[in-house]
Structure 1
Amino acid sequence: MELSPHASAEKEAARAQKELEEGNVLAALACLEKSLQAEDDPSLHSCLGFCMAKERGHVTRGLELCHAAIEREPQNPIHYFYLAKVHLVAGTKEEAVSALRQGAAQGGNPQILLMLQELGTRKPPPLRFLSRDHFLNKYLGKLLGRLGLR
């Protein structure tokens, strides 16, 4: 007995989620592609974007898919989570943290909060009246850090 397209799409999506939790991004990518062929589910586009960026190196396409998913469902924090993961693949940590903060503002998610803790937050600059990238703040922060005063 063959499954309906909707049931097979759900089965593949669940399998993709399981593969992602186990860290097997390539298998998750294959499952997501099968699921989306059976039925186009916009909630899976951000996950597909991350898998494509991670496995195939298509960072631009991954960002496009994540942004399209956010446009369709701006209140879904998981889209922001996958957008942050794509930014990390691209090497843009600041944008990743920004996406995670936006996702936390949309209701949060345990994965988002965990990733924010892993990425860490920056300490305030030693001289707060100067910008963070001012040379005095940079070198004074490094010096205080080495002395263990920060």
Structure 2
Amino acid sequence: MRHSAHNGAPAPTVEEQLAAGDAAWDRGDRATAHEAWRAAQQLDGNDPRVLSRLGLSLTLVARDEYKGVAFCEEAVRRGLVDADALWRLAVVYETTFQKERAVRAVRQGLAIDTHHPGLVSMIERLGVRRPPVLSFLKRSHPLNKYLGMLRHRLLSAKERA
């Protein structure tokens, strides 16, 4: 067990720092979240959970977009492929004006968790459309419009079921 140098109390673990940062982020205290995740990095800078969170705050709080993107991408490369990590990656991509990559990360995340609130709102915000039902016709063709509305209703009904 590690102890802090000045008061003998155990030093916070990576998990505790991540949890503190997550709680601060959720209540909108971005600066405190960034500091907690920075402290987690001091404990284990190779942990993909740390890299993912720190990448988000580096981009949005510290405005270090280059490092933020690199950290989030590295977290996913190291195997942190869950809906939250992909949401963070998508946010970083969106913030750095990489819409195509953001859409790819969102789709990957929604394949894991179709109801992830951050991913769902992001896909709506990015305005992603499905390809036309009949690809040999223009999207504006009345048949494609009708079939597209039908597909939308069927998929919406299926999600509600």
Q: Same fold (TM over 0.5)?
A: yes
Aligned to 1:88: 94
The offset of 1:26, in angstroms, is 1.8
Equivalences for 1:97-136 in 2 at 5 Å?
97-108=103-114, 110=116, 111-122=118-129, 128-129=135-136
Q: Is the 8 A contact 1:5 1:39 kept in 2?
A: no
2:9 corresponds to 1:2: yes
Q: What are the within-5 Å matches in structure 2 for residues 9-88 of structure 1?
A: 9-40=14-45, 41-88=47-94
Cα distance in 2, alignment partners of residues 29 and 49 from structure 1 = 10
* Corresponding letter in the other structure for 1:16: G
More helix by share: 1
Q: Tell me, yes or no, if the aligned pair for 2:48 and 2:76 is still in contact at 8 Å.
A: no
Note if contact 2:49-2:80 (Cα within 8 Å) is conserved in structure 1.
Answer: no
Query: Compared with structure 1, are the counterparts of its residues 77 and 37 closer, same or farther at alpha carbon in structure 2 (3 Å cutoff)?
Result: same
Between the two proteins, the alignment pairs up a number of residues equal to 132
1:97 and 1:47 map into 2 onto residues whose CA distance is 19
TM-score scaled to structure 1, two decimals?
Answer: 0.71
* Distance of aligned partners of 1:30 and 1:47 in 2 relative to their CA distance in 1, 3 Å threshold: same
Percent of aligned pairs sharing the same letter: 28
- Which structure's relative contact order is higher, taking Cα pairs within 8 Å and 6+ residues apart? 1
Output the TM-score relative to the length of structure 2: 0.67
